[in-house]
Homo-oligomer: A and B are copies of this chain.
C-alpha cells in the first residue's frame, strides 16, 4: 500500500470537529503503527502538505492545500458560478446557503454562506451526508435515471429519520416529484427543525453537477418567503443551465396550488 493512500487517509481525518491531528490521533483513527504515524506527519509537513500549529506537536492542513482547494472551485467553474448565485440569494434572504456535490451515495458541502438571522442553520462543510436523505442529494439524484439510482443502493436505504425516504420506491417517487417541480425539499430530515430547498444544475462539458441549497429553520419562514426562495434558486440555476447548455436541467414548475398561497 502506497504512502500516498496513507497521506490521503490523514487528510480524511480532518473534519469540522477535528482541525488538527497528532501522532496518537492517527494511531487510534487509522490503526497505523506509531512509528509510521510519526514519520508520515513529518514527511507531509516537510513536503508542505501539513504545517505544525505553533511549535506544538499538532498538525493541520498547510496553505498549499488551502490554495489548491481554492483552485478546485475555479477548475470546476460550475461550482464558482453556482456559489455566486447562492451567495446572492443567501445575502438577500438572510438564510444560510450552500452548494454541494455528490460523490457516489454521499453529498458534501463545498462552499457555504452563513445566514444573518439570530436563528440560522449552521452547515458543516466537508462532512458527507447520505444523498437520499437530503434535499441537495435528491436534487442531484433526480438527474440520474431510476436504474442508476437503484444501482447506487444495492442494499436498500437506511433512513436516518422518519421524514426521510424509507424505501427505494419511496425515494424514486420523491425524485419523480423533484423532476416534475424542478426543486427538492427536505424537512426535519438530517437536522431537527431544519428545512431546506435545493435545485441541481450540471455542466455537460466537464460532467460536473452541483446542488444549490438554501436552508432555514422551518419555524420562521412564511409560505410566501419559501416560494420566493424556491423561485430565486430556480431562476439562478436556470441561468447557469442556459450557460452550460445543461440538457438534464429540470426547470422550475411550481404547481397552481403552490403559487396561489
Q: Give me the interface of A with B, judged by CB distance under 8 Å.
A: 2-5, 7-8, 11-12, 14-16, 19-20, 43-44, 46-49, 53-55, 60-76, 101, 103, 108, 110, 125-126, 205-208
Contacts of A16 in B (CB 8 A): 71, 74
Q: How many copies does the complex hold?
A: 2
Q: Which 6 A-B pairs have the closest CB atoms?
A: A69-B69, A67-B126, A19-B75, A60-B75, A54-B207, A8-B47
- Contact in complex: B63, A108 (CB < 8 Å): yes
**How far does the alpha carbon of A74 sit from the alpha carbon of B61 in the complex, in Å?**
10
Residues in B neighbouring A49, C-beta threshold 8 A: 4, 8, 11
- 16 A-B pairs besides A61-B69, A63-B110, A66-B110 with CB distance below 8 A are A3-B4, A4-B4, A4-B47, A7-B7, A11-B49, A12-B48, A14-B67, A54-B208, A55-B207, A61-B72, A63-B101, A63-B103, A65-B69, A65-B72, A67-B126, A69-B70
Q: A48 — which chain B residues lie within 8 A by C-beta?
A: 8, 12
